[in-house]
Structure 1
Amino acid sequence: MIVEKVIGNIHTVNEWTGHTEKIYLESDSLRKRIQRVTTDHGNVIGIRLLENKDLRDGDILHQDEKNRIVISTLADDVLTILPESIGQMGEIAHQLGNRHLPAQFEGDEMIVQYDYLVEELLAELGIPYKREKRKVRQAFRHIGHSHE
């Protein structure tokens, strides 16, 4: 089977009584438009997305009356940053922006991929954080930029 488009996402589509097969991907693989993957039931699926769009956790790649195939993101090693003030948020956002480090936000939390230098910076600045294995819904995307 070759999948060319995402037909929905389980986080926005409810009510499914059929069987769900999962494809476990690392967050970096969510950016790949063409790849060969294997479901948790051993079925090999080709993905060749026609749209230039990243996959997301929960994307439904196939669904019929009895079965659906869904993307499930594996947990990443991340730093969850928990600033206690707008000043701390501004300071760490500025520092991470200078490093062009991609971040994601969930509620009041800033999430970045683990980096020992960032961990040292957070400790030095006294900004609360925790290192954890965490499932992210989308790939960390680096934004190209140069200081010319």
Structure 2
Amino acid sequence: MLIEYIDNELNGPDLGNLECDYVPLEWYEVDKKVLHKVSRHGLEVGIRNLAGRPLCDGDVLWRDQHRALLVEILPCACIALKPHTMLEIGKACYELGNRHAPLFMADGELLTPYDAPLYNVLGKYGFTVYVKTAKLKTLWGGYAGGHAHGHAHEHS
């Protein structure tokens, strides 16, 4: 099955009694323009995302009178921290941004994909950090696949 346009979001239409199948995606795949995946029920799916926005957890990729195919963002290991002051938020955002770590927000927590050196550095800077499994769905700053700005320093 080839899908070129995203039907709409889960919260929009009433899926009623439709049989739902899910296409599992990693958090970093949501903004890819072309994907080849297999749904939970074994359906091979080609996705050409012409919508111009990242796929979201619960997006309806396709539906008919009996079935619906939806996006499911898979949970992954994350570094979580819950800043308590504006200064802590600023410091955390600075440290994560300086390392080009994607930053997500959920339930008052800042989340980034787990990376052992980053976890250790954040702990050294005095943040209360912990590892948890979560769906990385709400990206701060836009582009999920990396950063899309120019700058003068080198990546290591």
The corresponding residue for 1:124 is: 124
Structure 2 Cα separation of the partners of residues 61 and 136 of structure 1 = 19
Structure 1 Cα separation of the partners of residues 12 and 137 of structure 2 = 13
Q: Deviation of residue 138 (structure 1)?
A: 5.6
Mapping 1:64-143, distance limit 5 Å = 64-137=64-137, 140-143=144-147
Letter in 2 for 1:73: I
Structure 1 Cα separation of the partners of residues 120 and 43 of structure 2 = 43
Question: Does the 8 Å contact 1:22/1:40 carry over to 2?
Answer: yes
Structure 2 Cα separation of the partners of residues 14 and 130 of structure 1 = 37
**What RMSD over aligned residues (CA atoms) do the two structures have, in Å?**
1.9
* 3-state SS, counterpart of residue 6 of structure 1: coil
Q: Deviation of residue 108 (structure 1)?
A: 2.2
The corresponding residue for 2:32 is: 32
* 3-state SS, counterpart of residue 31 of structure 1: coil
The corresponding residue for 2:53 is: 53
Q: Deviation of residue 9 (structure 1)?
A: 1.5
Q: Deviation of residue 137 (structure 1)?
A: 2.2
The corresponding residue for 1:146 is: 151
134-143 vs 90-99, which moves further: 134-143
Q: Deviation of residue 107 (structure 1)?
A: 4.0
Question: Does the 8 Å contact 1:55/1:138 carry over to 2?
Answer: no
Question: Does the 8 Å contact 1:57/1:136 carry over to 2?
Answer: no
Q: Which runs of 5+ in 2 are unaligned?
A: none
Q: Deviation of residue 23 (structure 1)?
A: 0.9
Q: Deviation of residue 127 (structure 1)?
A: 1.2
- The percentage of counterpart residues that share the same residue type is 22
* 3-state SS, counterpart of residue 30 of structure 2: helix
- Number of aligned residues: 148
TM-score, length-scaled by structure 2: 0.84
Structure 1 Cα separation of the partners of residues 87 and 56 of structure 2 = 32
Question: Does the 8 Å contact 2:29/2:145 carry over to 1?
Answer: no
Structure 2 Cα separation of the partners of residues 40 and 118 of structure 1 = 33
Q: Deviation of residue 5 (structure 1)?
A: 0.9
Question: Does the 8 Å contact 2:102/2:112 carry over to 1?
Answer: yes
Q: Which runs of 5+ in 1 are unaligned?
A: none
Structure 2 Cα separation of the partners of residues 104 and 11 of structure 1 = 21
Letter in 2 for 1:67: R
